[in-house]
Structures are given as structure tokens and as C-alpha cells.
Amino acid sequence: MKKSDNRACGFTLLEVMVALAVAAIGLGAISKSMISNVGVADQLKQRTLGTWVASNRMAELRMYRQFSNAGGQSGQAEMGGVKWRIEEEFSSTADPNISKVNITVFAELDDRNVARLTGYVARYKPADQTTQ
């Protein structure tokens, strides 16, 4: 029997250290990617809820026939367990019976807008009530 045949087979300490270093770098990259994905998912949730808040406010303006040719107003709403600040800006259009509305939605404690919606509100004109 040769002397080299009696040696135990296995990894050296250096090989184990290199393998652990490679694994640590890979796991670090994966965890960084997961943290980034969680942040993106949170932003997407906020934008979606903010867009719904803006759409609901536009529907309210149309339903209650709130019409203005100029100026702005602000308000609050709650959706998804979050309080939202709503700012509306009215401006006139070429047709005096139609007003342009810009609605901007902010998270309650944040100064950056989460959603923005532009729409139009028409002045309500009742049909002629003439008798024949």
C-alpha cells in the first residue's frame, strides 16, 4: 500500500473558507434584493390606494355637482387604514359650463404626492320645463 492511499479525503480549511465567503456574498445579494422588493411593493400599494382616493373624490365632485371655475380646496379621506390629504385645483376651460379639476393625493404625514388625477366637471343645467 502506498502512503498517499492512507490519507483521508476531504476539504482543506482554505476551501471551506472560500465556500463560506461565496455563500455569504450570495445570501447578502439575495437579502438586498428582497428588501428592495418589499419597498417597491409598499410604494405600489400607496400609489394604488392614492389613485382610488383621487377617483372617489372625482366621482363625489361629479355626483354632488360641485362646480367652480377657479380656486382650490383641500380635504381629507381615509382608505386602507391610512389617512390621505386631498388637494383640488379648479380652472376654467373654453366652455364656461365645464371646469377642469386637478386632484392631488398625499399620504397624511408625507409631503410627496402619491397620486394625481385630472378630470372635468360639468355645470348642471336642468332641462327646459316649458309646457305645451
Q: Which residue segment(s) compose the domain that 22 sits in?
A: 12-122
| 132 is a domain residue | no
| 128 is a domain residue | no
Q: What pLDDT, in 10s, does the model give residues 73-129?
A: 999 999 989 899 999 999 999 998 899 999 999 988 778 889 999 999 998 766 665
Give the closest residue to 87 by CA, choosing from 46, 63, 59, 118: 118
| 130 is a domain residue | no
| 21 is a domain residue | yes
Q: What pLDDT, in 10s, does the model give residues 98-113?
A: 999 999 999 887 788 8
Residues 87 and 117: their CA atoms lie apart, in Å, by 11
8-state DSSP, 70: S
Q: What is the pLDDT of residue 37?
A: 79
Q: What is the pTM of this model?
A: 0.69
The answer to whether residue 16 scores a pLDDT higher than 70 is yes
| 92 is a domain residue | yes
Q: What is the pLDDT of residue 32?
A: 85
Higher per-residue confidence, 117 vs 34: 117
Q: Looking at residue 66, which CATH number applies to its domain? A: 3.30.1300.30
- Count how many domains the chain has: 1
Q: What angle do CA 114, 119, 125 make, to 5 degrees?
A: 145
Q: What is the pLDDT of residue 119?
A: 95
